[in-house]
Structure 1
Amino acid sequence: MSRLLAVLCVGFLMSSPAVATVINGEVLRQNGNGEFKLLDTSVPFSVGHDNFNTDHLYAFDEDQNILLSEPIRVDIGGDRGMIPQGTTVASHYVFFDSLSGVHEGYVDFDAPILGIAALPDTLDATDFLANNSVNYISTDLRGLEPGDYVWIDPDDPFRLWVLWAGSSPGDYIRVFTEKSLGAMM
């Protein structure tokens, strides 16, 4: 019976359309009244300099399950700051585009986090993993400023923590996870 159930589950995953690999999030503390928002990329939108201006913590999925033809550099995580060639990654964008204040929260993924691009150079170098239905504006202003913190939960590698002092133009990062079973291709 358990073998049949396993076959049915695999069959369901293989026949199901790709689903979001950002699975949850929450704003735990801030000066405003924001909440976590998972953005639907099937409806085109723009992200960047003051485009949202809310207290919400946002996330959306970018390219999923891409086999890296060359290594990519990350600012947090990775093996000595690199995710090696031959690794299959899923890419996600996480940001606050608030007016002001301190924001603390988390985002959960369906696969362990491999690394994070948090500075303009690493974000630029990994734009090939961006979502084609999203218009990225003011890309020279992306990243985190001094005093902003982001980390992978040491007890739960599926959870990303953020502690950001939001202001114009906002805080933006790209998160790389292992191959997502929820976004089978």
Structure 2
Amino acid sequence: MIKPLLLALALSATGAHAMVIGGKIVDQTGTGEFEILDPTTGFTVGSDNFDSCNLFAFDEDQNIVLSEPIRVDIGPNSGMIAQGTEVASHYVFFDSVNGTHFGYVDFDAPILGVAAFQDTMGATDFLANTDVFYIGEELRGLENGDRAWIDPDNPDRLWVSWAGSSPGDYIRVFTARSVGAAMM
């Protein structure tokens, strides 16, 4: 019952940007918080341009039927999301100067997989389609010791345990068809 209420609140609070519906930093060094960014504002993400203790997320392209399979590093589908699957793409990152955090991001649909390293992120850039300018692409992904995983009891929740430094930690999350995007 809580999820439909959260979705309705997210839709009313953010208009068209309801696919990432929330998140929280549970423990960290620093004073950051979770923040959903609006990709229509045209910001730059990548190489140390945020320098914040916040955990950020924003929506990329939504409800796209894959014309070919995509490889993922984390997920229940044996490292692949099949051709013909309808996916919504989201970007999650932590760009601190020097800090660590443990937290989560909630989506409005089950997570199908996560691109967590440079090669899988580069191969899925065609799913970005935002007004965001991506820089430092060769340094995207997770660093040694960083972890991201799908909650085994809640497939709409991604947990992260990251230590941020230059240039930060960046991943792309693929969910099933987004109910929020379909309502637009």
Q: Note whether the superposition's TM-score is higher than 0.5.
A: yes
Give distance in 1, aligned partners of 2:34 and 2:147: 18
CA contact (8 A) 2:40 2:132 kept: no
SS of the equivalent of 2:129 reads coil
Correspondence list, 1:172-183, <5 A: 172-183=170-181
Q: Which structure has the larger Rg?
A: 1
4+ residue stretches of structure 1 with deviation over 3 A? none
- Higher mean alpha-carbon deviation, 53-62 vs 70-79, is at 70-79
Shift of 1:78: 4.2
In structure 1, the partner of 2:3 is none
In structure 2, the residue matched to 1:9 is none
Corresponding residue number in structure 2 for 1:155: 153
- Deviation of 1:88 (Å): 0.1
Cα 1:50/1:19, change in 2 over 3 Å:
closer
Alignment check: 8 A CA contact 2:87 2:176 kept? yes
1:73 to 60, 71, 74: 71
1:131 & 1:61 partners in 2: Cα distance?
A: 10
Matches within 5 A, 1:108-123: 108-123=106-121
Tell me the CA shift for residue 42 of structure 1.
Answer: 1.7
Match of 2:8 in 1: none
Distance 2:136 2:32 in 1: 23
1:94 equivalent in structure 2: 92
Alignment of 1:1-185 (within 5 A): 18-184=16-182
Q: How many residues align?
A: 170
Question: Tell me, what secondary structure is at the counterpart of 1:165?
Answer: strand
- Aligned-pair distance for 1:41? 1.2
Segment of structure 1 superposing worse, 110-119 or 129-138: 129-138
Segment drifting more, 74-83 vs 158-167: 74-83
Instruction: Say what the alpha-carbon RMSD is for the aligned residues.
Output: 1.2
Provide the TM-score with structure 2 as the length reference.
0.90
Unaligned runs of 5+ in 1: 1-12
Gaps of 5+ in 2: 1-10
Secondary structure (helix, strand or coil) at the match of 1:151 reads strand
